[in-house]
A and B are shown apart, each in its own frame.
Chain A
Amino acid sequence: MTMSAADSRHFRMHLNLGPQHPSTHGVLHLALEMYGENVLDIDPVLGYGHRMHEKMAERRPWQAFFANTPRIDYACSLPHSHCYALLLERALQIEPPARAVSLRIIASELNRVASHLLWVGAFLLDLGAFTPILYCFDDREQAVDILEHMTGSRLTHAWMCAGGVTDDIDEETVLKIRAFIRRMRARFRIYERLVTNNVIFIMRTRGIGVITPALARSCGATGPVLRASGMACDIRKVAPYGGYDQYTFDVPLGSDGDCLERYRVRMEEMRQSLRIIEQALDRLPGGPVRTKVPRTLAPPAGEYSSTVEGARGDVTYWAVSDGSEIPYRLKIRSACMGNLSLIPELCRGMLLADLIATLGSLDLVIPEIDR
């Protein structure tokens, strides 16, 4: 269709998506150049959730940062705490007790299930489906109740520490977790009928936002985003940490790299998480849950790094110690940052509605990017 330059000018629009918008999952601001319904260019504007975590780390003792780690990615906070605990334990050569290692895995996987449930609900809400989020949150409340029993908090779990975890679980909690696993396995059938086989959902997600492995890798995307494109990169398998090499589980892989594939990968990941929790409960050893560590922690001078598989991807903490009890530098590498940096390249020419679907499928928590 040919159009005069004067006419085409009228179809161009600068549209601000966010920072207050129901579909930006926090405070993301996308400055869009639109041509009608198509996106010409995207400029993500970040920083609306910047909370100075890295600067705070430089002012307080090493162990005080455990108050910050749950608040970085609050939807799946235990892997962040786990990563930081591993970093300190490696640097100081502390071994947590076997029971603590198992409890950490149980809690992290429960947190992963809760996070993916939250994602499924929010993603479907972005696509316009109001019902699934109610079911997802119902299931999430069961998981969050158990986490509250274990860690003392519904959302920002300050439970892990260098040397183990701060509190043990009782037999009642173990029974609750087993009941949750049974319940959740039955609930997946509801999601299959309500969501996975829903023709509107499939039309909104199949072939939308296709991420090639090359694009994902060059931008540093990780997690379900990378796995849906076909790359078998799960830190729990590739570089096992914290006891994960003892457990049998599959890493779901996609092939098409579209939104539907990312949904399928996350649904399957929830099933695999339940499998891991079950194995961990079956083998849960007795004993203490915390190794005695010195009152002040002072890793020897040098650089330390640790990586875990968060719900959104590869979470890496890197620290520089000058030998004192206060970190010299702490760098938090958030999983979402690599995932979001795909967006400008990926979404050029896309319809706005497809941009919303793609953005939702990346599972972003903006305060994790902004730190």
Chain B
Amino acid sequence: MEHPGNRQSACCEGLPVAADTPLPQPLRLAETILDACRANSLWPLTFGLSCCAIEMMSAGMARFDMARYGAEVFRPSPRQADLMIVAGTVNKKMAPVVQRLYEQMADPKWVIALGNCAVSGGPFAGEGNYAVIEGVDRLIPVDVYVAGCPPRPEGLLEAIFTLQKKITGRRHPFPQNRHPQGQD
């Protein structure tokens, strides 16, 4: 099943054009601008499940400062968020909740699987596992995977950059966010 959030430019969603027909120039320009705006103002959903939630909070705080890259405005309601950062272990009881929250988010939407548990079940996967879902991509489509147990907050920042590249084709849609000494 195709998920619109996975597509490079979600602006194409719903237009009555065939997939391989190029868009007319004005629409392509609008799409580029909208994608840059979306990528630079991702609004994450507050969705901390376990340990990785603390690192997600640290990434939003003053030291690592996700606000520099536009992703500071954590929204508690999925209706107002466009980025779901699954930070922690998803288990069988939580799985329908994850799916419902994903469905409640409006398009275009993206998902970052933060930490080993969200990527593949983490340290809880394996023989005798009766409760943990081995990877949130079994429930919802994931755009960026961040490995680590827990990953450093810089890992989450890198995930934001990767997602921005996925949305717009460039790591920093607005050049002023690039590191001044050229470290990207």
Contact = CB atoms under 8 A, between A and B. Distances in A.
Interface stretch (A14-22, A190-198, A204-212): A14-22
A3 interface: no
Contact of B94 (A19, A59, A154): A19
Contacts of A155: 51, 54-55, 150
A51 B61 contact: no
B177 interface: no
Interface of B: 45-51, 53-55, 57-58, 61-63, 74, 76, 78, 88-89, 91, 93-94, 97, 101, 123-124, 127-132, 149-150, 152
Contact of B61 (A21, A55, A138): A138
A67 B149 CA distance: 11
A138 B63 contact: yes
A316 interface: no
Given A20-B101, A52-B129, A155-B150, A26 B93 contact: no
Contacts of A244: none
A83 to B, nearest CB: 18
Contacts of B45: 20
A308 B51 CA distance: 21
B63 A74 contact: no
Given A59-B128, A137-B58, A137-B61, A51 B51 contact: no
B93 A48 contact: yes
A154 B129 contact: no
Interface string A16-45: 000111100011000000000000000000
Nearest to B64: A141
A156 B51 contact: yes
A154 B150 contact: yes
Contacts, number: 95
Closest 8 CB pairs of A and B: A74-B51, A137-B61, A22-B76, A48-B94, A367-B50, A47-B93, A22-B46, A141-B63
Given A20-B97, A154-B150, A49 B63 contact: no
22 contacts: A19-B94, A19-B97, A20-B78, A22-B46, A22-B74, A26-B50, A27-B49, A27-B94, A47-B91, A49-B89, A50-B91, A51-B124, A51-B132, A52-B128, A52-B132, A56-B124, A59-B127, A71-B123, A137-B61, A156-B149, A367-B50, A367-B51
Given A71-B51, A71-B123, A51 B101 contact: no
A334 interface: no
A175 interface: no
A55 B130 contact: yes
Q: Assign chain A's interface to a size class.
A: 20 to 34
A67 B126 CA distance: 14
Contact of B150 (A19, A47, A156): A156
Contacts of B54: 74-75, 118, 155
A155 B54 CA distance: 8
Contacts of A51: 50, 89, 91, 124, 131-132
Contacts of A137: 57-58, 61-63
Interface in A85-115: none
Contact of B50 (A49, A55, A59, A141): A49
A124 B35 CA distance: 36
A169 interface: no
Given A47-B93, A74-B51, A118-B54, A55 B123 contact: no
Given A56-B128, A156-B149, A48 B97 contact: yes
A144 B61 CA distance: 14
A31 B110 CA distance: 29
A367 B48 CA distance: 11
Given A20-B101, A55-B128, 7 more contacts: A22-B46, A26-B50, A27-B94, A49-B88, A137-B61, A155-B55, A367-B49
A134 interface: yes
Contacts of B50: 26-27, 49, 51, 71, 74, 367
A21 B101 CA distance: 12
Quick one: which of B88, B91, B127, B129 has the most chain A CB within 10 A?
Answer: B91
Interface string A138-160: 10110010000000001110000
